[in-house]
Amino acid sequence: MSAVKVLVTGGTGILGRALVAAYARRGDHVQTAQRQQSGSDSAHLLDVADGPDVARLLVHLAPDLVVHLAAESVLAAAASQPAEAHAVNVGGTQNVLAAAAAMARPPAVLVASSVLAYAPADVARLTGAIASPQSTADLQAALHDVSTITHQIATGPGPAHEMLTSEAMARRIDAMMASVQSTATHASSTMDQVDALAREARTGHGLVHALIYDREGETMVRNLASAANEVGAITRDVRTGNGGLHQVIYGTDLAQTLANLNQVTTQTNALMTDIRAGRGTLGALLVDPSLYEDIKSLVGNVQRNEVLRALVRYSIHQDDGARPNVTATPAAPAGANQRVLPTATPAGMGQRTIARPAARPAVRPAAPRP
């Protein structure tokens, strides 16, 4: 269906606004005419009591349909100014109908009536509840309450009066609103972070994504559950068993155990203090260089003793038979500085001649330590 060009008089009223919106939703081209300018390009200033103005507007717009709603609908205003009400309600309707009939292609005209067009009995039935004494009394009571409240607000005292007149209250309200705005900003930032975390958990590759979406997450959860069960079992054993940890936590001799531990710690600290001070053999080894030189000289002398080294080699290479008696006898004229020692041979035990080392100067003992 093609769009219809519609002109609505009285388009700013309750019924007019609803009708204009309905035509616009349907896709029609809607123009309005009213006594007050609204600033819209589709609204035209018009007094329906002025016949020539009505005719010029209809010729200019050339509508397909005219919906005539312009009227004085307030009974009190019509009663106080009956001539003006008659000129608008009756004369205005006549002007719209006459202008439409005089056009080369007359538009359709829809005239809306009012509740006063109904029979008096129908009007009485519709307005009877409102005109009852109880409704009047309720309305008067409500108006009295409203008057009392507004008078209290205007004159005070009270919070409402202070909100409107007190500068201190205004500052407190401003501070409160600033705090609310700051809280709202923080809440919005927090929600953005939560949304980002949720998006990362849904699309990322982190632990949360793995726990929720990956099969490995299920395995990880099972492992964590197993570990938690083991920790629970250990905790239960500590609580109900008789082990050392149970005794430390729940035992009655905890004080004695701690005392013994403190005593051991004290003795260990004293021992380490003596060692660092050079007391005893270990302390002398750490802080006395002369003792170290004495031990080094002793070890060197042992290493240089050929007889002792021969005995060591012999003891290593001897067979499983009986140990022979080792004797040192002067060797043949090969030299005076020789010793003859038994040696093991395939046929039995023989003798081995080794040279006796030349006499070495005696090692001077170290000066006694204080």
Q: How confident is the model at residue 11 (pLDDT cuts 50, 70, 90)?
A: confident
- pLDDT above 60 (res 360): no
- pLDDT above 90 (res 3): no
- pLDDT above 50 (res 99): yes
Pairing of strands 338-345, 108-111: unpaired
The token duo for 129 is 């509840």
Q: How confident is the model at residue 333 (pLDDT cuts 50, 70, 90)?
A: low
Q: How confident is the model at residue 5 (pLDDT cuts 50, 70, 90)?
A: very high
Distance CA 83, CA 81 (A): 6
User: Residue 346: its pLDDT value, please?
Assistant: 43
**What is the torsional sign of CA 355, 361, 362, 366?**
negative
Q: How confident is the model at residue 50 (pLDDT cuts 50, 70, 90)?
A: very high
pLDDT tens readout for residues 106-116 = 999 999 876 66
Q: What is the DSSP letter of 48?
A: T
Phi, psi (deg, nearest 5) at residue 335: 160, 155
138 vs 292, more confident: 138
User: Residue 151: its pLDDT value, please?
Assistant: 83
Classified by CATH at the fold level, domain 5-118 comes out as: Rossmann fold (3.40.50)
Distance CA 306, CA 303 (A): 8
Amino acid at 73: S
User: Residue 344: its pLDDT value, please?
Assistant: 43
288 vs 37, more confident: 37
Q: How confident is the model at residue 307 (pLDDT cuts 50, 70, 90)?
A: low
328 vs 12, more confident: 12
User: Residue 345: its pLDDT value, please?
Assistant: 43
Q: Where does residue 324 rank: exposed (0-12), middle (13-18), buried (19+ CB within 10 A)?
A: middle
pLDDT tens readout for residues 182-233 = 999 989 889 888 888 887 777 777 767 776 777 766 777 788 888 888 888 8
What residue spans of the chain are helical by DSSP H? 14-26, 51-61, 75-80, 82-86, 92-101, 120-127, 133-155, 159-165, 167-203, 207-213, 215-240, 244-250, 254-276, 280-287, 289-304, 306-317
What is the rounded end-to-end Cα distance, in angstroms, of the chain? Answer: 127
Q: How confident is the model at residue 327 (pLDDT cuts 50, 70, 90)?
A: low
Distance CA 284, CA 277 (A): 9
- pLDDT above 90 (res 29): yes
Estimate to the nearest angstrom the gap between the alpha carbon of 90 and the chain centroid: 70
- pLDDT above 50 (res 356): no
The token duo for 339 is 């010793």
Estimate to the nearest angstrom the gap between the alpha carbon of 55 and the chain centroid: 69
Q: Are 165 and 158 within 8 A, CB to CB?
A: no
User: Residue 107: its pLDDT value, please?
Assistant: 94
User: Residue 105: its pLDDT value, please?
Assistant: 93
Q: Where does residue 251 rank: exposed (0-12), middle (13-18), buried (19+ CB within 10 A)?
A: middle
- pLDDT above 50 (res 343): no
Phi, psi (deg, nearest 5) at residue 354: -125, 150
* Segments making up each domain of the chain, as ranges: 5-118, 204-251, 289-355
Partners of 7 in beta bridges:
31, 66
Q: Pick from 31, 66, 60, 34: which is nearest to 47 by CA?
A: 34
User: Residue 352: its pLDDT value, please?
Assistant: 47
The token duo for 17 is 């606004």
My answer on whether omega of the bond before 133 falls inside 30° of 0, hence cis, is no
pLDDT tens readout for residues 238-280 = 778 777 677 767 666 666 777 777 888 888 888 888 877 777 7
User: Residue 318: its pLDDT value, please?
Assistant: 61
User: Which range has the worst mean pLDDT, 47-56, 74-83, 302-311?
Assistant: 302-311
